[in-house]
Structure 1
Amino acid sequence: MDQVPGTPQEPQGAGGASGLPGCYRHPDRATGVTCTRCERPICPECMVSASVGFQCPECVRSGSGTGHSAHATTPRTLAGGAVASDPKLVTKILLGLNVAVFIAVYASSGLVGRLDMIGLAFDPQHYQLVGVAEGQWYRLITAVFLHQEIPHIAFNMLSLWWLGPPLEAALGRLRYTVLYLLAGLGGSALSYLLAAQNQPSLGASGAIFGLLGATAVLLRRLNYDMKPVLILLGLNLVFTFLWPNIAWQAHVGGLVVGAAVAYGMVHAPRQRRTLVHTLTCVAALLVIIAVVVLRTFQLTG
């Protein structure tokens, strides 16, 4: 945002640059589907349809997939989400929304001033105070989809297209969407708290940094080599703090929220996934609300 033998363990270092684990029998094949019994990643060739979803050949041969409760009737992603036929659908929708708003900005010159993230400022055109402190909380989320310059939206959308699909495939559509929105809100909330009250900011960078933090958490969960993502994260943080006119608060806020929410999603116990995921997201939202309320109280007395 301007002012980016037991059950074998999962294969190590498999799956390539997609960020997904590799099939336990074919490590070079990235997949977001796991066996519903042993939870090992399996590629389409190894998927065996059974009464409790897709299972790996070994579980089918051993009969370990029979006689159990059917709590897993469909193939599940690493985080427990339903496996979708198009693991890029939500990412495509987010891209479309950002581009649509970008076009609308050019069609309406006053749109930016009504939707950007600003704490409290005086609008001389309408002779009134505007901003989140004036009750315009919608700015916290509308600013996440708002861009003014072509290089700005181009960089953010390229980052979204690179980071989004692997996370969407690993988390599932609903969890991925919630993580993206919470990271964007987290970036806006920290900007609201720490930036100058009349300093406007806009852009998807907070949400993008959230995806970057979530990617790091996911790779750590899969025991992949962390060096590439840590180097990328470090470079982005250096760029954030050294380049002028960048709302570093939004980047840091998005990064922290994205990483925290992702941690709760990928480390939740299998038997309590839904509960842990819900509590994680609710807790993140409550913290964001608390930050906004605190800052509003500071600005309005």
Structure 2
Amino acid sequence: MLPDESRSAAGRSPEGGLPGCYRHPQTATGVSCTRCERPICPQCMVTASVGFQCPECVGDGHAGTRRATTRFGGALTVDGGLVTRALIGVNLVVWLLAAYVLTPRLGQVWSLFSAGRDILGGPAGVADGPHEWYRLLTAVFLHLEWWHVGMNMLVLFWLGPPLEEALGRLRFLALYLLSGLGGSTFAFLVAGHRMESVGASGAIFGLIGATIVMQLRSRGPLAPAMAFLVFNLVMTFSRPNIDWRAHLGGLALGALTAFGLMYAPRERRGLVQGLTVVGAVAVEAAMLLTGMALYGA
């Protein structure tokens, strides 16, 4: 409705002398919007720095206001560690179920298990086909030992909040999941003929790689993050029964994803970040399909 039309409608107010509200013509009012000068009733008026404004003018003003974001384009929130705590909670709940409630069934069904076509009874697990590919993700949340989940969650509690605060919740969650899936798919590509693995270590190594990228991007102290990475790599290759493939795959995918998210130019940030996520998914899909060609039916 145009301002002139609203005034005409307002003139039909039953109370002579006072115009009617432009939204409620039967309600007489002596107050006008300080921006468009249309009459507004108490139900419609919004307090402004000077006088009152109508809802449309307030909405137009907000539309022109730039939305506050995190450094790398995420939505700004008061609590920068919510997703981190939620991930820790999910991992702990799954550990309790697997270790004490649904033992050993949950561990058998959710583990990153694969046996190739050359194994008697194979292919099985991930190599058996799409109906078993869910293991690539469920294994990221599955732990069977208290020390395993404890170590991974301690690192997540340490590295997660700074990354989540810088990236925003959605980008941080995408980074975590893509890192975990990167570790799973790389492990399947390398050893899908005979493997069984569990744990969030691929996702955790992805966060380590992302922390290094963030320090490079912000020109912060790099030595602590590099020392922590070297320490974890030494532990990976010096102790038995550790799936180094998941660690290296998660590290690579996490670092590459973080690079695309953090180095995206401001004027094309959304496009570049979206392409980064799509590209990471494409790389993981390529590793999965290549592994299926090697080991699957």
Residue 193 of structure 1: how far off its partner (Å): 0.9
Following superposition, the deviation at residue 73 of structure 1 comes to: 2.3
Aligned to 1:199, the other structure's residue is in SS state strand
Q: Distance in 1 between matches of 2:65 and 2:282?
A: 31
1:253 corresponds to: 249
Computed over aligned residues only, the root mean square deviation of the Cα atoms, in angstroms, reads: 1.8
Which of 146, 164, 180 is the matching residue for 1:184? 180
What residue identity is the alignment partner of 1:241?
Answer: F
**Equivalent residues in 2 for 1:82-231, closer than 5 Å:** 82-105=75-98, 106-109=100-103, 110-120=105-115, 130-135=124-129, 136-195=132-191, 197-231=193-227
- Partner Cα separation in structure 2 for residue 221 and residue 182 of structure 1: 20
Cross-structure match for 2:59: none
TM-superposed deviation, 1:225? 1.7
Is the 1:118–1:197 contact (alpha carbons within 8 Å) kept by the matching residues of 2? no
Q: Which amino acid aligns with 1:231?
A: A
Percent sequence identity over aligned pairs: 47
Residues in 2 aligned to 1:72 and 1:107: alpha-carbon distance in whole angstroms: 52
Q: Distance in 2 between matches of 1:192 and 1:71?
A: 49
Q: 2:111 is matched by which residue type in structure 1?
A: D
* Matching residue's letter, 1:242: S
Instruction: Between 277-286 and 196-205, report the one with greater CA deviation.
Output: 196-205
| Higher deviation after alignment, 113-122 or 92-101 | 113-122
Give the superposition deviation at 1:213: 0.3
| Conserved 8 A contact 2:115-2:122 | no
Q: How does 1:276-295 map to 2 (within 5 A)?
A: 276-295=272-291
Contact 1:91–1:164 (8 Å) recurs in 2 = yes
The CA deviation string for residues 241-283 of structure 1, in whole angstroms up to 9 with x for no partner, is 1111000000000000000010111110111111000100100
Deviations 1:136-170 (A, max 9, x none): 10000000000000000000000000000000000
Secondary structure in 2 aligned to 1:225?
A: coil
* Deviation, structure 1 residue 198: 2.4
| TM-score, structure 2 normalization | 0.74
AA paired with 2:102?
S
Distance 1:187 1:241, change over 3 A: same
User: Which structure would you say has the larger RCO, counting Cα contacts within 8 Å and 6 or more residues apart?
Assistant: 1
Residue identity opposite 1:134 in structure 2: D
Q: Distance in 2 between matches of 1:300 and 1:88?
A: 40
TM-score (norm 1): 0.73
Checking the alignment, whether the CA contact within 8 Å between 2:115 and 2:193 is kept in structure 1 is yes
Change (3 A) 1:225 1:233: same
Larger radius of gyration: 2
Distance 1:167 1:115 in 2: 28
* 1:75–1:107 CA distance, 2 compared to 1 (3 A): same
CA contact (8 A) 2:116 2:127 kept: no
Q: Larger helix proportion, structure 1 or 2? A: 2
In 2, Cα distance between equivalents of 1:128 and 1:235: 37
- On the 8 A contact 1:209/1:254 being kept in 2, the answer is yes
| Structure 1 residue 199 displacement after superposition | 1.7
Tell me, in whole angstroms, the C-alpha distance in 1 between the residues paired with 2:126 and 2:154.
Answer: 29
* Contact 2:140–2:203 (Cα < 8 Å) also in 1: yes
Determine the C-alpha separation between the residues in 1 that align with 2:251 and 2:68: 30
CA distance in 2, matches of 1:231, 1:240: 14
